[in-house]
Amino acid sequence: MLDTLPPDVATQHPSIPLPVTQPAHWHLATRLAFRFTTLYFGLYVLTTQMLGGLLPFGFLPDLGATGWMKGVVRVAAKDIFHISTFVTTTTGSGDKIIDWVHAFCLLLFAAVGTAAWSAIDRKRPNYAALNRWVRVFLRFALGSTMVAYGMVKAIPLQMGAPSVHRLVEPYGNFSPMGVLWSSIGASFPYERFAGSMELLGAVLLFIPRLSLLGAMVTFATAVQIFTLNMTYDVPVKLCSFHLILISLALITPDARRLLNVMVLNKTAHPSTEIPLFRRRNLVRLAVALQIVFGGYILFTNYSSARESWTQFGGGAPKSPLYGIWNVEEMRVDGVVRSPLLNDYGRWRRLLFQNPAAMTFQRMDDSFQGYGAKVEPDGKTLTLTNNGGKNASAKFAIDRPGNGDRMILDGDMDGHKVRFDLRRVDQTKLLLLSRGFSWVQERPFNR
């Protein structure tokens, strides 16, 4: 009876159940694929950093390779891969040995779980009802992760502007990842564009009717992320590859429709995806809740990124002595140290970036860092080493003239040391001064 109601009647009466077309019997391969991907992706989200992005509101128990799975991962590493020691602390890398073994364990769990599920539930014709909820879960897991990726680029925090240290370091000393970070950080417009595309995919994923488009945009951005990770040796290869797989899992049910439109020039029939509920008022409520929750994820990530920007990013406080200072003359116990390339103890430059640190560059272009504190009156500089526990030097600061010269005079490691310094005009460095040109008579590639 319901299937015969006119569309306008059903629309005007939200309490009337929506017409539901019973799905056909799923092919065995489809059912097996659904069981495996549901188990694997579900375990992956719940046992990796993706869970923290999905539920960004406080402490979460460690469900991953260093939590309840630690014992399983250790056994697999030792008995299967013959690995007895590996790093279990947070290092910033998502491609540690423990991460690869963890992924192997998840594959094993999913395979065994699929076999058991198939044996127990082999007569079920389809998983249409469960599939609706699995897709919501994957949409938000993927979307929340892309929000985290995109927000720290839209607010250019992930790849910061090249520091004074980077500006004087020889290019050949850069790692491939350092080249990528510095090149993107040198162009905030590009970094913001890349972040905006990642955020666009996430926002579309949060809106049910636009989720297919969101999965397609996210797939494209995830491929870009994965390619950069692979070609510049960025240790987030596992995670970015899973973003591609989850995007494809969301796109695959509509693959035929996309093929018809994009390749075969045929009409694409409406999606056969069944709503979460049969009642229109519940469907509308579910849509509203998804959008609100997506907005909450965006807001919390924005707030966190803005706070980090003012603490660690481009908006963070700078040292009162900020800049690159060339050592024009260095005296130790009254004796001038000539700027010889083989003099390891002769300083070449002093670099001040944040208020609590100072780095000096030797004549051979190597670096050493110190903790640093400039007194509020700007007259005294104290350097510390060993994590700030031991005072290493104390200098009186004199800045004659217009401030581009500075004299540091004091004691360091039992010696009287004096530096005559001149600040480098960073605005004249080509990387910072070149800018953007609409009109170019010839390429400017230096």
Those residues whose C-beta lies under 8 Å from the C-beta of residue 144, and which sit 6 or more positions away, are: 50, 53, 54, 56, 202, 297
* pLDDT, mean of residues 304-315: 89
Q: Is 343 exposed, middle or buried (0-12, 13-18, 19+ CB in 10 A)?
A: middle
Give SS3 for 330: strand
- Using one digit for the tens of pLDDT, what is the confidence trace for 393-432? 999 999 988 789 999 999 998 899 999 999 999 989 888 8
Tell me how far apart the alpha carbons of residues 373 and 382 are, in angstroms, rounded to a whole number: 5
pLDDT score at 388:
54
Rounded CA-CA distance 127/119 in Å is 15
Residue 14 DSSP SS3 = coil
pLDDT of residue 71 exceeding 90: no
Whether the Cβ atoms of residue 153 and residue 191 lie closer than 8 Å to each other: yes
pLDDT tens, 122-141? Answer: 889 999 889 999 999 999 99
pLDDT reported for residue 244: 98
The C-alpha atoms of residue 98 and residue 72 are separated, in whole angstroms, by 11
pLDDT at 19 over 90: no
pLDDT for 9 beyond 60: no
Q: What is the mean pLDDT of residues 260-279?
A: 84
> 3-class DSSP state for residue 376?
coil
Are the beta carbons of 393 and 374 closer than 8 angstroms? Answer: no
Q: Residue 56: which of 145, 120, 122, 136 has the closest Cα? A: 145
Confidence of residue 91 (pLDDT cuts 50, 70, 90): confident
- Quickly tell me which residue has 């600040």 as its tokens: 423
Phi, psi of 369 (to 5 degrees): -105, 155
Taking the whole predicted model, whether its pTM rises above 0.85 is answered as: yes
Task: Evaluate if residue 206 carries a pLDDT over 70.
Answer: yes
| Contacts for 207 with CB less than 8 Å, ≥ 6 apart | 214, 287, 290, 291, 294
Domains of the chain: 2-311 (no CATH), 323-428 (2.40.128.20)
**pLDDT computed for residue 389 by the predictor:** 58
Nearest one of 190, 149, 181, 177 to 163, comparing CA atoms: 181
Scanning 155-279, the segments in alpha helix (DSSP H) are 164-168, 176-185, 188-206, 211-231, 237-251, 255-262
Q: What CA–CA distances, in Å, run from 287 to 32, 215, 284, 293?
A: 29, 17, 5, 10
Q: What three-state secondary structure class fits 322?
A: coil
Q: Give percent of the chain with pLDDT exceeding 90.
A: 64
Asked which of 97-106, 233-242, 377-386 is least confident by mean pLDDT, the reply is 377-386
Rounded CA-CA distance 318/163 in Å is 11
Q: Which residue has the tokens 């891969």?
A: 81
Other CB atoms within 10 A of residue 120 CB: 9
Going by the DSSP 8-state scheme, the letter that residue 17 receives in this structure is B
H/E segment holding residue 404: none
**Which tops the pLDDT comparison, 22 or 343?**
343
Residue 114 · residue 32 · CB < 8 Å: yes
Rg (CA), the chain: 29
User: Which residue's entry shows tokens 């599920």?
Assistant: 117
Tell me the pLDDT tens digit for each residue of 330-383. Answer: 999 999 999 999 999 999 999 999 999 999 999 999 999 999 999 998 899 999
pLDDT of residue 391: 66
